[in-house]
C-alpha cells in the first residue's frame, strides 16, 4: 500500500502506508482488554519497516514515556454500520459508531495510548511497548509522542464510559502458581494474567447469571484456562475468576 501523490480534495479516499507491525503478547483478540492501560503488564514489540526504520525517524522519541499508536483493525471486516452495541452497555443499547471506540468502523482506524518501555537498535529501531490493547500482527500507520498538557483534559465528560470497566477478583489455582514459579517470567506473567482476567473477558450476556463453562485466553505461549465462581447472597452476586491451569500452546 503506497501513497505518494497527494489526492485532490475531491477524491473520496486515500491509501495509507504501513510503517510497522506489532508483535504482541495477545495471539488472539479474545481476552484483550477493551482499552490500553487496563493491563499495564501487556508487552509488545513494534518493528518498523523500510523506509520508516531509519534511526533518524525516532531520534528523540526515547525522551517520551508514552506514545499514541495509530493502527488498522486488520481483523475487523471493512463493512461498518452507523449504530454499534458497545459491550460496556451490555451489548443491548446502540450508539453511533463515532460515539464509540468500536473495532467495526469506517477506515478501521484505531488509536491507543501506550507506554514506551524502550527502543532497541539492531540497527533498525524496534520499539518496546507496554500496556497496549493490540492483537498480534496489527499494522501500524503512525506514532506520535504523548503530550499530557495537550492530550489530557481534566474533568472531561466521557458519556456512557465515564470510568474504567469494573474488575473481578482473580484466584490462581495451586497448579497455576506452581507453573508460574517454574518460569523465569513467572512474576510478570502472573501480573498479566490477573490484569487481563480481572476485566472478565466473557461475552456480556454470560456475565449476569450462573456460568459453569470453562474458558481459555491465550497469552504469550500459554493457554490460560479459567472458570467463574459466582456466590449469590442476599443483595446480589459476586463473581470470582479462578485460573485452573496454564497449558503450553502447541
Ligand atoms: N484503543 C483502541 C481505540 O480506541 O481505537 C482500541 C479499542 S478496541 C475497543 C480494543 C479491542 O480491539 C481489543 O479488546 C481487541 O479485541 C481488538 N483489537 C485489537 N487489535 C485489533 C486488530 N488489529 N484488529 C481488530 N481488532 C483488534
The one-digit pLDDT tens for each residue of the chain (250 residues) are 344 455 555 568 899 999 999 999 999 999 999 999 999 999 999 999 999 999 999 999 999 999 999 999 999 999 999 999 998 988 889 999 999 999 999 999 999 999 999 999 988 999 999 999 999 999 999 999 999 999 999 999 999 999 999 999 999 999 999 999 999 999 999 999 999 999 999 988 887 777 889 999 999 999 999 999 987 665 566 789 999 999 998 7
The β-bridge partners of 180 are none
Using the mean position of ligand 1's atoms as its centre, give its distance from the Cα of residue 179 in Å: 29
pLDDT for res 203: 85
Using the mean position of ligand 1's atoms as its centre, give its distance from the Cα of residue 178 in Å: 32
Using the mean position of ligand 1's atoms as its centre, give its distance from the Cα of residue 135 in Å: 7
pLDDT for res 78: 94
Q: Which helix (H) or strand (E) holds 58?
A: none
- At 180, phi and psi to the nearest 5? -65, -40
| Residue list, ligand 1 pocket, CB within 6 Å | 29, 32-36, 73-76, 101, 103, 110-112, 133-135, 138
pLDDT for res 10: 57
Distance CA 165, CA 5 (A): 43
Using the mean position of ligand 1's atoms as its centre, give its distance from the Cα of residue 182 in Å: 32
Residue whose CA lies nearest to ligand 1 atom number 16: 29
State the pTM of this model. 0.93
Residue whose CA lies nearest to ligand 1 atom number 24: 73
pLDDT for res 200: 95
pLDDT for res 73: 98
Site to probe by mutation for ligand 1, drawn from 21, 133, 144, 204 as the one with most ligand atoms within 8 Å of Cβ, is: 133
Buried b vs exposed e over 81-113: b needs ≥16 C-beta within 10 Å?
A: eeebbbebeeeeeebebeebbbbbbeebebebb
Using the mean position of ligand 1's atoms as its centre, give its distance from the Cα of residue 243 in Å: 24
Amino acid at each position: 500500500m503506497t501513497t505518494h501523490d497527494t489526492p485532490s480534495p475531491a477524491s473520496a479516499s486515500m491509501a495509507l502506508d504501513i510503517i510497522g507491525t506489532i508483535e504482541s503478547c495477545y495471539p488472539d483478540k479474545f481476552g484483550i482488554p477493551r482499552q490500553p492501560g487496563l493491563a499495564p503488564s501487556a508487552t509488545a514489540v513494534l518493528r518498523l519497516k523500510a523506509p520508516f526504520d531509519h534511526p533518524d525517524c525516532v531520534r528523540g522519541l526515547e525522551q517520551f514515556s508514552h506514545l499514541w499508536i495509530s493502527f488498522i483493525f486488520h481483523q475487523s471486516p471493512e463493512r461498518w454500520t452507523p449504530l454499534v452495541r458497545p459491550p460496556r452497555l451490555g451489548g443491548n443499547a446502540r450508539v453511533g459508531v463515532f460515539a464509540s471506540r468500536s473495532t467495526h468502523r469506517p477506515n478501521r482506524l484505531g488509536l491507543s495510548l501506550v507506554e514506551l518501555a524502550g527502543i532497541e537498535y539492531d540497527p533498525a529501531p524496534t520499539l518496546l511497548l507496554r500496556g497496549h490493547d493490540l492483537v498480534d500482527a496489527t499494522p501500524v500507520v503512525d506514532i506520535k509522542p504523548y503530550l499530557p498538557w495537550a492530550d489530557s483534559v481534566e474533568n472531561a465528560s466521557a458519556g456512557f464510559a465515564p470510568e474504567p470497566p469494573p474488575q473481578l477478583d482473580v484466584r490462581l489455582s495451586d497448579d497455576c502458581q506452581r507453573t508460574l514459579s517454574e518460569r523465569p517470567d513467572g512474576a510478570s506473567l502472573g501480573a498479566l494474567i490477573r490484569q487481563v482476567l480481572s476485566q472478565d473477558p466473557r461475552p456480556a450476556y454470560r456475565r449476569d447469571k450462573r456460568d459453569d463453562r470453562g474458558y481459555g485466553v491465550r497469552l504469550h505461549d500459554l493457554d490460560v484456562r479459567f472458570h467463574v465462581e459466582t456466590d449469590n447472597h442476599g443483595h446480589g452476586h459476586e463473581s470470582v475468576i479462578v485460573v485452573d491451569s496454564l497449558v503450553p500452546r502447541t
